[in-house]
Amino acid sequence: MNVQFKKGVLELCVLSLLYKKDRYGYELVQKISNQIAISEGSVYPLLRRLTKEGYFTTYLKESTEGPSRKYYQLTLQGRERLDNLLQEWQEFTSGVNQLIKEGVGQ
């Protein structure tokens, strides 16, 4: 998949995955990697930026499989950001799909 496509939707994917459940970084990487080929190194800088911008809070939680894990929790501001991105995504994909349908008839 085109790298620019991935970069554009990664924030939306991360925010969406945190909507119902707090998750730790590696878990997010695995969930996204199951659907989209990404590098682990692309998610952590995004998590830091989104935390700094107030979309997440973080906390440490003990793990039975090693050291404590840093969990990310969506804030109210993060939920609002997700709502905005989802609306933009729906409008964008609807427009692109319409152009494809008009152009190649699919």
CB-based contacts of 75, cutoff 8 Å, min separation 6: 54, 55, 56, 57
In 10 A of CB 61, how many CB atoms?
10
pLDDT at 50: 96
- For the chain (length 106 residues), average pLDDT per consecutive 10? 72 96 96 89 93 97 92 98 95 93 84
pLDDT at 58: 97
CB-based contacts of 16, cutoff 8 Å, min separation 6: 82, 86
pLDDT at 39: 82
- Global pTM reads 0.87
pLDDT at 2: 63
pLDDT at 8: 75
| CATH number assigned to the domain covering 3-104 | 1.10.10.10
